[in-house]
Structure 1
Amino acid sequence: MKNLNICIDIDGTITDSYFWLDKAAEYFNIKVKHEDFKEYEFCKALGISEKDYNGFYEKYKFEYHRQDILRVGAKDVINDLYMNDNIYFVTARDKSLENITSSYLKNNEIHFHGLYVLGTHYKIDKAEELKCDIFIEDNLNNALQLSNVGFKVLLLDATYNRHVNDPGITRVYSWIDIYDEIVNYKFLQKVI
């Protein structure tokens, strides 16, 4: 029996938060600094229409999701947690990306017990179904929704999620921080 049910977002959480921003900026020939990326929506950060950004995304989503850059430490921490905990990836990616997402995780040798490609940012129902103990997220709106219904959320720091003060959300700065928070949580819950 595994100790915890850990739900993990993918984009911006196990992958680099700014990979897509950089690719879109290059495509639209726009200069943008990561520290100026204050909102989760790329179109707002780039000053382009949502329609233009969506056109870019649809054109390149398969190619770029194959190339996503892993965050430092993500693979090692997830694989270590996998030994004692249930690892579930819960992503808002649209269903057309399910196979490529599964292949990406497997090609990067990231172990997991389940992959849920929801096609929506609403993750509460899936977290409840999975009896989630900890949810690792980077999207502030998702984190607040999950926290507001009682889930413990680890929010991976990014320039677009720094304006939050919520008792159910713990800000983390790296995958080492995530590992430490989970170990501390287990100790407090006496599930080690």
Structure 2
Amino acid sequence: MKNLNICIDIDGTLTNPYYWLDKTAEHFNKIVRHEDFTQYEYSKVIGISQSDYDEFYEKYKFKYHSKDVLRFKARDVINKFYLSNNVFFVTAREKSLEMLTFSYLNRKNIKFDRLFVLGTHHKVKKAKELKCDVFIEDNPYNAEELSNAGFKVFLIDTTYNRKISHHNIIRVYDWIDIEDAVNNLILAENAI
């Protein structure tokens, strides 16, 4: 029997949160330090229009998403989770990226039960369907929406999500921290 239903975001959570910022800044010949990335919207941080960013994203989404860089220890920790928990990737990525995302996870040797490519940042409905016990996320808006709906969120620390707090949000700093937090949650659940 599996212990927990763990939902995991991909971009910025599984992968490096500054990868797309770096690629976007490079494309538009801008210099942006990671510590200046204090809001979630790339276009605002870089100082370009949303339509310019959307055009860039549309042109390069397949190329750059196929080369996304994993966060340190993410694969190791998730593969440990998979042994005794249900692991669901729940991403806001567009549906057009579903096969690329599936292939990427397999190519990176990441074990998981299911992948859900929602095409929207609103993840509460899917979290309810999956009976999610904990959601691992980086996006401050998603974290807030999920926590307001009663879900426990492990918010992986980034420069753009430091202003958010909620009683259902636990701030974690890396995948080693996430592993400890999930193990503590399992111990708490088993003690009941």
CA separation in 1, counterparts of 2:165 and 2:108?
Answer: 34
CA separation in 2, counterparts of 1:157 and 1:127?
Answer: 21
Q: Does residue 1:50 correspond to 2:50, yes or no?
A: yes
Q: Which residue of 2 aligns with 1:175?
A: 175
What stretches of structure 1 move > 3 A for 4+ residues in a row?
A: none
Tell me the C-alpha RMSD between the 2 structures. Answer: 1.0
Q: Does residue 1:186 correspond to 2:186, yes or no?
A: yes
Deviation at 1:165, TM superposition (A): 2.1
Q: Which residue of 2 aligns with 1:101?
A: 101
5+ residue gaps, structure 2: none
Question: Over residues 91-132 of structure 1, what are the superposed CA-to-partner deviations in whole Å (9 max), with x where a residue is unaligned?
Answer: 000000000000000000000000000000000000000000
Question: Over residues 162-192 of structure 1, what are the superposed CA-to-partner deviations in whole Å (9 max), with x where a residue is unaligned?
Answer: 0012110000000000000001111111179
User: Which secondary structure state, in structure 1, belongs to the residue aligned with residue 160 of structure 2?
Assistant: helix
CA separation in 2, counterparts of 1:175 and 1:158?
Answer: 13
Give the AA of the match of 1:115: L
Give the AA of the match of 1:118: L
Given that residues 3 and 191 in structure 1 are in contact (C-alpha distance below 8 angstroms), is that contact kept between their aligned partners in structure 2? no
Give the AA of the match of 1:38: T
CA separation in 2, counterparts of 1:28 and 1:190?
Answer: 51
TM-score calculated relative to the size of structure 2: 0.99
Q: Which residue of 2 aligns with 1:149?
A: 149
Given that residues 137 and 153 in structure 1 are in contact (C-alpha distance below 8 angstroms), is that contact kept between their aligned partners in structure 2? yes
Q: Which residue of 2 aligns with 1:9?
A: 9
Q: Within 5 Å, which residues of 2 pair with 1:27-66?
A: 27-66=27-66
Moved more, 89-98 or 180-189: 180-189
* Cα 1:191–1:101 shift into 2, 3 Å: farther
CA separation in 2, counterparts of 1:189 and 1:86?
Answer: 15
Given that residues 88 and 115 in structure 1 are in contact (C-alpha distance below 8 angstroms), is that contact kept between their aligned partners in structure 2? yes
CA separation in 2, counterparts of 1:14 and 1:8?
Answer: 8
Give the AA of the match of 2:13: T
Q: Which residue of 1 aligns with 2:25?
A: 25
User: Which secondary structure state, in structure 1, belongs to the residue aligned with residue 84 of structure 2?
Assistant: coil
TM-score calculated relative to the size of structure 1: 0.99
User: Which secondary structure state, in structure 1, belongs to the residue aligned with residue 132 of structure 2?
Assistant: coil
Identity percentage of aligned residues:
60
Figure out how many residues of one structure are paired with residues of the other and give that number.
Answer: 192
Q: Which residue of 2 aligns with 1:77?
A: 77
* Cα 1:191–1:51 shift into 2, 3 Å: farther
Q: Which residue of 1 aligns with 2:113?
A: 113
Q: Which residue of 2 aligns with 1:158?
A: 158
User: Which secondary structure state, in structure 1, belongs to the residue aligned with residue 100 of structure 2?
Assistant: helix
